[in-house]
Amino acid sequence: MKPDLKPPRWAERLLEFFCAPHLLEEVQGDLHERFQRQAMLFGAKIARQQYAWNVLSFIRPFALKRKKSEYPSTYLYRPDMFRNYLKIAVRNLVKNKVYSFINIAGLSAGMAVAILIGLWMWDELSYNKYHQNYEKIVRVMQHVTNNGEVQTWPNTPLPLAEELRKSYGSDFKHVTVSQDAYSILSYGEKKFSKKGAYFEPQITEMLTLKMLKGTRNGLQNPNAILLSESVAKAFFGEVDPLDKIMKMDNQTDVKVTGVYEDLPANSDFHEVTFIAPWQLYYNNNEWVRTMADPWRPNAFHIYAQLIPNADITTVSYKIKDAKLNKVSKELAKKKPEVFLHPMSKWHLYSDFKNGVNVGGKIQYVWLFGISGLFVLLLACINFMNLSTARSEKRAKEVGIRKAVGSVRAQIVYQFFFESLLMVFFSFVFALLLAQLMLPFFNSVADKTMSVPWGNPLFWFTGFGFSLLCGLVAGSYPAFYLSSFQPLKILKGTFRAGRWAALPRQVLVTIQFTVSVTLIIGTIIVFRQVKFAQNRPMGYNSNGLVTLPMYTSEIHTHFDAVKKELTKSGAIIDMAEAGSPPTENYSSTSTIEWKDKDPNLSVDFQTIAISFDYGKTIGWSFKEGRDFSKEFSTDSSGLILNEAAVKFMGLKNPVGETIKWYGTSNKVIGVVKDMIVQSPFQQVKPSIYHLTPYPGGVIIVKINPLASAGKALSEVETVFKKFNPSQPFEYQFVDEEYAKKFDNEERIGQLATFFAILAIFISCLGIFGLASFIAEQRTKEIGIRKVLGASVTNLWQMLSKDFVILVIISCVISAPIAYYFLQEWLQKYTYRTEISGWIFAVAGFGALVITLLTVSFQAIKAALMNPVKSLKTE
Amino acid sequence: MRRTYLGEFEEVVLLMVAILDGEAYGVTVSQALEEHTGRVVTFGTVHNTLIRLEEKGFVSSQLGGATNERGGRRKRIFQVTALGSRALQEIQQLRHELWQMMPPTKLRLTGL
């Protein structure tokens, strides 16, 4: 027989796979005989084809059906055996306390984190779902082009709402204009300032408010107000609030016409604690009624609800030019494009870049989801590693079980049973742990979540995940241990070869890769925060306090108040401004200067201030001078910041004339850039101007010699004297400034949390492995000691393996971390560099931690008396 | 009498087994089929039929006769049982009787 005359291999395999064993011999024989003859007659090619064809012709019931075994098969679900598995599992748990602790602790830590992350993701993903019209509610927004850059604004001009109703009304069920409200509400002696909003009456239907008192028609009367449950409680306690007359901002009487259930924390409207009719705002604000060009101020929010079968994308496209068609030529230059942002995307997809939605918080949902999964994976890896490492110990058990009649499936069941038992233990601990960690987690993540004990879905997912975990973690030991041949194990010739340790090493490497990546990430996030914090603010926030003003009493008696407070030594200085130094609400596009490129579109921040503003906050001048009462012309003077000078390209800014909305103003000074908005972005061009009108806030500089508490109480008494109607409120500027880092710091804290957990779990794992290896090599260590090895030698020998694995992990994790963090840093204009030492530190740190963990076991083993270790058998 | 139905193809295969007389196994049966009836059938079909005939008790089988070209695998050699041969004879008998009953004109009409 020629060696090349062989039937196709795959067909052989296929036949061997499907054909019943008792038929295989004759069938295969026939096929081969036929094949040889065909090959002789027609050549190898045709013979092969025929062979394959014939093999396929055997795929029919008679060949597939297996002959029944003559012997009864082992019944796999015998309760006795399960009782035995349980007994053995418990004995093993108790006997190896350290392993059991490591397994359960690691796994429950991992699961607890997975539960918390799961809750967090659930909370994020169910944002706004409280509102039943969730699918159909939209926010009207606009893209505006400024010097080629597309900006996206959530605020719109007022007449747009009417335009949508009039020209596109067939697609909208409700359209409402809205304005945020921050007002003092008072009833009798009780006064609180509360956040709320002005809406048109349909809003109650749109948001499907659950009315506890009154009806959803409550906003028809312009002097009505709806209160949230908590606000109603604060004012009226148990008394029925309906039809009570309250005062808003100490001037307007409003009647309570309804109480609605508090909106949940995961609604974008959760800060709306009262709702007042839009008409009230319109009546009370003269400027809204008398706007010269109502299409100009983008100062209003518009929300809408589409009709049931309208498609948001289509309608969004339809209304694209709703504003463009109406505005003046000059505003049309900015190519305003109106679009609808669906409620389902408000929270998670809120970022726009060049007019395109680029995600937003959804990235964090992914990031944390993946991190949580990784932590869980690390814990599962521990479990697998320790179980396989202990396999040699349990090999004898497997051998004996097989020898007395266990079939392989039973061994597989046994190990799955054990791992599931462990996993469910861990699940119980994880639930406890999650409950304990929840308050901390809530404070870090800025949430108010609770474990939904009563939710069947929660239990379903919880048990589902545990089951999956148990199967994944138990699969390797179950299939590996059950594959041992009893004869070899019992004869003692069984030795897990070098390959047996390889998967374990790979898994340890994965664990450390994840851990080191997280360490690097944590360091870089914190460096980024630090980098931005170290950026000069441009002013001195020490002892700076802002006090919001809703009424004009203090403004009228400004000088008297200031005099009284400085005289008592409570404050050094005091000023008024349109907004606190950490925020700004107004901007303008109507700025003209000499040599201005007519195509350049402008967006300048405008900050209205009083005299002494600069002195109070401590800005510093680059050129020129501050506003001064000595120059009467300063009322039309301007102070620019460096960014504005740079934007305008002025060589000698001081003395230049700048036209703002047609009026000429003289630049009297240039101040160094101050960080008002995000400390991670460039400072925007800004204009400071004097205003004779009351500002939104009073800023005071507390005397550094006085204690802050005492100074503030003095400020309070004086303010109360002049303005008894307003509750005293204040904010420290440095605290407000620090809040700008909240988001980044939160990420940093969470990254730290994950990194520590990952390291902890990984270390638990190698601690277990090290102790196991030390135990396994007891005899070897004894002999080495007898032959003269020193403790250092032995320590080196035992630690070396792990150190190599950690070094490999560092090498793998460096590029991964670099890639992802480079991506993350791209978001920030002001960003730290990823320098080499960070990788070195992270790697070194991981190495030190590993050595500490391993050394404990290594030294313990190395110090053992060789007489003892060699004597025992 | 237990009447077991014998299909057309089964009958042909059973005949082949009888013809081959002690030499009938998968390969030879399918070869004989091809040779004498011109029917080309796959091995799967032949084996299937042989096994069904054995289940019905028309043939018996035993293993033996390994050759080199079979890679040392044994053949399953089939032999017609008493029941099998009686079934064949009955069919033959029945056909014969039926032929006798046919009017002679009929044969001519159909061109025979």
Distance CA A169, CA A163 (A): 9
Q: What is the 3-state secondary structure (H, E, C) of A30-86?
A: HHHHHHHHHHHHHCHHHHHHHHHHHHHCCCCHHHHCCCCCCCCCCCCCCHHHHHHHH
* Whether residue A719 is found in the same domain as residue A756: no
B78 interfacial to chain A (CB closer than 8 Å): no
Confidence of residue A429 (pLDDT cuts 50, 70, 90): very high
B1 lies in a domain? no
* Whether residue A776 is found in the same domain as residue A712: no
pLDDT of residue A861: 85
Min distance B94 CA to chain A CA atoms (Å): 31
pLDDT over 70 at A493, yes or no: no
Last residue of a domain, one of A313, A346, A379: A346
Average pLDDT of the segment spanning A734-739:
89
CB spacing of A29 vs B47 below 8 angstroms: no
Confidence of residue A496 (pLDDT cuts 50, 70, 90): low
Segment B63-105, tens digit of pLDDT: 887 788 888 888 899 999 999 999 899 889 988 999 888 877 7
Distance CA A531, CA A830 (A): 8
Mean pLDDT for chain A overall: 86
CA angle A712, A539, A710 (to 5 degrees): 10
Domains: count for chain B: 1
Among B25, B49, B51, B73, the strongest candidate for a mutation testing the A interface, having the largest count of A CBs within 10 A, is: B73
Distance CA A760, CA A839 (A): 20
B91 interfacial to chain A (CB closer than 8 Å): no
**Residues ≥6 apart with Cβ < 8 Å to A667:** A624, A637, A638, A639, A640, A650, A653, A654, A655, A656, A657, A658
CB spacing of B48 vs A30 below 8 angstroms: no
**Max Cα-Cα span within chain A:** 121
B3 lies in a domain? no
pLDDT over 60 at B2, yes or no: no
A228 forms bridges with which residues in the sheet? A260
Distance CA A280, CA A265 (A): 27
Give the pairing of strands B59-64 and A571-577: unpaired
Whose CA is closest to A851, among A751, A843, A761? A843
C-alpha count within 13 angstroms, C-beta hemisphere, residue A38: 22
Which residue blocks in A319-360 are alpha helix, DSSP H? 329-332, 343-346
Distance CA A623, CA A653 (A): 9
* Percent of chain A residues topping a pLDDT of 90: 15
Average pLDDT of the segment spanning A266-272:
88
Confidence of residue A869 (pLDDT cuts 50, 70, 90): confident
pLDDT over 80 at A337, yes or no: yes
Task: Kindly report the backbone phi and psi dihedral angles of residue B42, in degrees, each rounded to the nearest multiple of 5, phi listed first.
Answer: -75, 160
Task: Kindly report the backbone phi and psi dihedral angles of residue A459, in degrees, each rounded to the nearest multiple of 5, phi listed first.
Answer: -65, -40
Confidence of residue A1 (pLDDT cuts 50, 70, 90): very low
CB spacing of B75 vs A30 below 8 angstroms: yes
Distance CA B67, CA B44 (A): 21
Strand runs labelled E in A285-361: 301-306, 337-342, 352-353, 356-357
Segment A218-242, tens digit of pLDDT: 888 888 999 999 999 999 988 888 8
Q: What amino acid is encoded at A205 in this protein?
A: E
CB spacing of B71 vs A26 below 8 angstroms: no
pLDDT of residue B1: 39
Per-residue buried b or exposed e for A598-615, using 16+ beta carbons within 10 Å of the residue's own CB: eeebbbbbbbbbbbbbbe
Domains: count for chain A: 4
pLDDT over 70 at B109, yes or no: no
* Whether residue A322 is found in the same domain as residue A336: yes
Q: What is the 3-state secondary structure (H, E, C) of A505-549?
A: HHHHHHHHHHHHHHHHHHHHHHHHHHHHHCCCCCCCCCCEEEEEC
B21 lies in a domain? yes
Segment A819-865, tens digit of pLDDT: 989 988 888 888 888 888 999 999 999 999 999 988 888 888 888 88
* Whether residue A527 is found in the same domain as residue A557: no
pLDDT of residue A8: 86
- Identify which of A29, A32, A60 has the shortest CB distance to residue B44: A60
Whose CA is closest to A570, among A703, A680, A670? A703
Average pLDDT of the segment spanning A640-669:
88
pLDDT of residue B110: 59
**Residues ≥6 apart with Cβ < 8 Å to A352:** A143, A150, A152, A358
* Whether residue A757 is found in the same domain as residue A733: no
- Contact list in A for residue B74 (CB cut-off 8 A) is 25-26, 29
A52 interfacial to chain B (CB closer than 8 Å): no
- Three-state DSSP at A190 gives strand
A247 forms bridges with which residues in the sheet? A186, A253
CB spacing of B75 vs A57 below 8 angstroms: no
Structure ipTM: 0.86
Which residue blocks in A453-497 are alpha helix, DSSP H? 456-481, 486-491
* Whether residue A713 is found in the same domain as residue A844: no
B2 lies in a domain? no
A650 lies in a domain? yes
Answer whether A327's CB lies under 8 Å from A315's CB.
no
pLDDT of residue A498: 61
Last residue of a domain, one of A687, A710, A737: A737
Distance CA A197, CA A181 (A): 5
Answer whether A107's CB lies under 8 Å from A472's CB.
no
* Percent of chain A residues topping a pLDDT of 70: 97
Task: Kindly report the backbone phi and psi dihedral angles of residue A637, in degrees, each rounded to the nearest multiple of 5, phi listed first.
Answer: -85, 160
Min distance B92 CA to chain A CA atoms (Å): 29
Segment A534-586, tens digit of pLDDT: 888 888 888 899 988 877 788 888 888 889 888 888 888 999 998 888 888 78
Residue A166 CA: distances (Å) to CA of A163, A342, A541, B89: 5, 21, 49, 97
**Could you tell me which chain B residue has the CA closest to the CA of A55?**
B44
Distance CA A74, CA A76 (A): 6
pLDDT of residue A363: 82
Min distance B50 CA to chain A CA atoms (Å): 11
Provide the domain limits for residue B99: 8-109
Extract the tokens encoding A832. 């730290």
Answer whether A702's CB lies under 8 Å from A618's CB.
no
User: Look-up: residue for tokens 């396929």?
Assistant: A56
- Contact list in B for residue A27 (CB cut-off 8 A) is 26, 43, 47
Distance CA A695, CA A616 (A): 15
Distance CA A830, CA A680 (A): 5
Quick one: CA dihedral A775, A780, A783, A785, positive or negative? negative
CB spacing of B44 vs A26 below 8 angstroms: no
When comparing pLDDT for A393 and A309, which is higher?
A309
Task: Kindly report the backbone phi and psi dihedral angles of residue A527, in degrees, each rounded to the nearest multiple of 5, phi listed first.
Answer: -65, -40
Last residue of a domain, one of A719, A737, A755: A737
User: Look-up: residue for tokens 């809703």?
Assistant: A550
Min distance A58 CA to chain B CA atoms (Å): 4
CB within 8 Å of chain A, chain B residues 6-35 = 25-27, 30
DSSP state of A692: S
DSSP state of A806: H
pLDDT over 80 at A213, yes or no: yes
CB spacing of A33 vs B66 below 8 angstroms: no
List the single range of A495-499, A521-525, B10-14 with lowest mean pLDDT.
A495-499
A181 lies in a domain? yes
Quick one: CA dihedral A54, A56, A60, A64, positive or negative? positive
pLDDT of residue B106: 65
- Three-state DSSP at B66 gives coil
Whose CA is closest to A313, among A171, A465, A186? A171
Answer whether A478's CB lies under 8 Å from A419's CB.
yes
**Residues ≥6 apart with Cβ < 8 Å to A779:** A869, A870
Answer whether A384's CB lies under 8 Å from A422's CB.
no
Between the CA atoms of B95, B97, B99 and B103, what dihedral angle is there, to the nearest 10 degrees? -150
User: Look-up: residue for tokens 């060696």?
Assistant: A3
Segment A700-734, tens digit of pLDDT: 998 888 888 888 888 888 888 888 877 788 889 98
pLDDT over 90 at A450, yes or no: no
Segment A382-410, tens digit of pLDDT: 877 877 777 667 888 888 888 888 888 88
* Whether residue A368 is found in the same domain as residue A490: yes
- Contact list in A for residue B68 (CB cut-off 8 A) is 1
Answer whether A190's CB lies under 8 Å from A235's CB.
yes
- Contact list in A for residue B47 (CB cut-off 8 A) is 23, 27, 30, 58, 62-63
Average pLDDT of the segment spanning A676-685:
87
CB atoms near residue A871 (< 10 Å): 9
Q: What does the DSSP assignment read for A704-758?
A: TTS-HHHHHHHHHHHHHHH-TTSPP--EEHHHHHHHTTHHHHHHHHHHHHHHHHH
A548 lies in a domain? yes
What is the CATH classification number for the domain harbouring B101?
1.10.10.10
Segment A236-263, tens digit of pLDDT: 988 888 888 998 888 889 999 999 999 9
A104 lies in a domain? no
Answer whether A228's CB lies under 8 Å from A162's CB.
no
Provide the domain limits for residue A613: 544-737
**Residues ≥6 apart with Cβ < 8 Å to A859:** A791, A795
* Whether residue A471 is found in the same domain as residue A578: no
pLDDT of residue A815: 93
* Whether residue A732 is found in the same domain as residue A764: no
- Contact list in A for residue B52 (CB cut-off 8 A) is 62
A16 interfacial to chain B (CB closer than 8 Å): no
Extract the tokens encoding A810. 């560092």
